Chain A
Amino acid sequence: MSFFPVYEQYKNMGIENIISDINQHSVLRSLNKNILTIEDFAALISPSALPFLEQIAQKSHDITRRNFGNTIQLFTPMYLSNYCNNRCLYCGFNRDTQIERYQMSLDEIDNEARVIASTGLKHILILTGDAPKKASISYLKSCCDVLKQYFSSISIEIYALDKKGYEDLIQSGVDGLTIYQETYNTDLYDNLHPTGPKKNYQFRMDAPQCGAEAGMRNVTIGTLLGLDDWRKDILFTALHASWLENHYPETEISIALPRIRPYYGYYQPEHQVTDQDMVQMIVAIRLFLPRCGITISTRENESFRNNILKLGVTKMSAGSSTAVGGHSLSNTQHNQFEISDTRTVEQMVLFLEQNNIQPVFKDWERF
């Protein structure tokens, strides 16, 4: 049982084409329902829904508050290693890019962790490139042993693994998995990943499911918005999240919304994703999946992040760096992508509190 046949079934039904055919009556009907289907979601992300954006946002705000309270969970990414075997056209760590490759030693990780922990953060997201021999499972397990002393929750955003691989890492203290399909468009995916293990579309698509089966407490999925028409990609993201929720009801499923950012490379994204588009995505997801987490990273600028706080977002990164050892190492490594919101954790906390939102540092304790 895999999501791929479901994806294919909906793709063959031409579900992305129905978005342009939706009229305002359908939007209103979907907006007023309490339990929405994927067809309702398509209506809410259609251009016809734009005149109702404020109403959808109000409902999204209400649902978020009822399910999550006036809270936003904070975390930060820690880049452990930027060695990579893939040549993803859109990525700053692309194997062909002439950047310095680095992988932190356990001591350096300890130092980086201490710096991050001093800001009060308890949830950490560790990232590596796709280099299983270098950033191996055993390396990652050793990293977890260090990080466990500082953080109550460790999530991973690394190369796709199978169930056994995730089980192994869970044993070392990992409880969250983040993995993006990048784009659900199979042809585009094939072009964007010319060589390397990541080229295997289905293996990557199965990874969130493997994580859930292995026992991950949280699984976050998403696409890199801007690679393809965002409406199509978000439609399949929502379908995927809904499928995961239905099949793994014990796992908390979240959707992240990374919008493509300038980076050290040449790839020009084909599609625009405006602030209005981002808002529409957030509020539509909230109505379709009332208990799904929604994550916004520091790819987005300060002003945008401030304005979307009350729309349905539940998790945000703060005090971020996308360079290896970016929180502590003095030699500046290359970033995977440019950060936009450069506020420190302290500044974020202050802003949240001023806006009646409780920043949540710790949401879990290992036992």
Chain B
Amino acid sequence: MQDNTFELGGKRLSSRLFIGTGKYASDSMIPDVCRSTGACVITVALRRVDFNAITDNVMQHIPSHMQLMPNTSGARTADEAIRIARLARATGCGNWIKIEVITDNKYLLPDGYQTAKATEVLTKEGFAVFPYINPDLYVARDLVNAGAVAIMPLGAPIGTNRGLRTEEMIHILIDDINLPIIVDAGIGKPSHACQAMEAGADACLVNTAIATSEDPILMGKAFAEAVRAGRHAFLAKSGGTSQLAQASSPLTGFIQNNEGLS
């Protein structure tokens, strides 16, 4: 089965690896990483302009064909996220928004309730909403009802690179939720991304692991290959090998070979 492009939020994408723009040693690396990853979707954040610093505008480093996914980082409540989303859209970048509502500065874990509230409002305003959450089934169901376009469960807390600590929970979401699942945060190695895709995730968002590696361009390539490998493995489905040995006390030994209705 070929799986070259897929539809998401009204766009046709050719890559299941989404990337970020944070934490780069220099933003000028970004175009090369876009190339080496083959990514179509890239995240940005919205901040106040600092008048005293001569800052580069990150937008000038993002190739024009990339689909922008602004995030609402900095928002601590649904209202703040909604405000940031509206501001982001006013830049003319499209209607995609990743909702990140984080009140906790220690672990940077998202607030599911505020996220669901923001999702509901923004969906009604025509945004394509991508909520970032702890992999909680009930929060995810609320988000489905609120009209989210996909669910973005974390693999591990932001920036920790610890991999899929929440693997079991993500599997539950993949199994139970009828929306694309994009694993976001915590993916530290290409093998983590491969693992997520193999389990049936629809895409992975990787920022820290690429941006802070020794060679972001090469690491980006590695992640792209890992995401493709995982996806192919998921589609091909491994052949059956029996993992169960013959038990010493059979449970079905009592069945007679020739029998009618008892």
Residue ranges of A at the interface with B (Cβ–Cβ < 8 Å): 25-32, 35, 52-55, 57-59, 61, 226, 246, 259-260, 269, 272-276, 279, 300-301, 303-304, 307, 310-311, 340
Contacts and interface: CB of A to CB of B under 8 A. Distances in A.
A357 B197 CA distance: 42
A275 B256 contact: yes
Nearest to B260: A272
Contacts of B259: 274-276
B247 A28 contact: no
Contacts of B1: none
Contact of A275 (B246, B251, B255): B255
Given A54-B246, A272-B261, A32 B240 contact: yes
A27 B240 contact: yes
Given A259-B261, A300-B262, A58 B251 contact: yes
Query: DSSP class of B's interface residues: helix, strand, loop or mixed?
Result: loop
Interface in B103-130: none
Contacts of A246: 176
A366 to B, nearest CB: 26
A31 B240 CA distance: 8
Ranked 4 nearest A-B pairs via Cβ: A28-B240, A29-B240, A57-B251, A307-B254
A57 B252 contact: yes
* Residue with the greatest number of chain A CB neighbours at <10 A, chosen from B238, B243, B252, B262: B252
A260 B251 CA distance: 24
A32 B240 CA distance: 7
B237 interface: yes
Given A28-B241, A32-B240, A32-B241, A54 B262 contact: no
B171 interface: yes
B10 interface: no
Nearest to A310: B251
Contact of B247 (A25, A54, A259, A303): A54
B144 to A, nearest CB: 12
B242 A276 contact: no
Query: DSSP class of A's interface residues: helix, strand, loop or mixed?
Result: helix
Contact of A32 (B171, B242, B260): B242
Contacts of A273: 261
Given A32-B240, A54-B253, A260-B261, 19 more contacts: A25-B239, A28-B239, A28-B240, A28-B242, A31-B244, A32-B241, A32-B242, A54-B246, A54-B252, A57-B250, A226-B261, A246-B176, A269-B261, A274-B259, A274-B260, A275-B259, A279-B255, A311-B251, A311-B252
23 contacts: A25-B239, A27-B240, A28-B239, A28-B240, A29-B237, A29-B238, A29-B239, A30-B240, A52-B242, A54-B250, A54-B251, A54-B253, A57-B250, A57-B252, A58-B244, A274-B261, A275-B262, A276-B255, A276-B259, A279-B255, A304-B262, A307-B254, A340-B262
B251 A61 contact: yes
A353 B239 CA distance: 41
A303 B262 CA distance: 10
Contacts of A25: 239-240
A282 B250 CA distance: 16
B175 interface: yes
B137 to A, nearest CB: 9
Contacts of B261: 226, 259-260, 269, 272-274
Contacts of B237: 29
Given A54-B251, A61-B251, A32 B262 contact: no
A120 to B, nearest CB: 28
B11 to A, nearest CB: 29
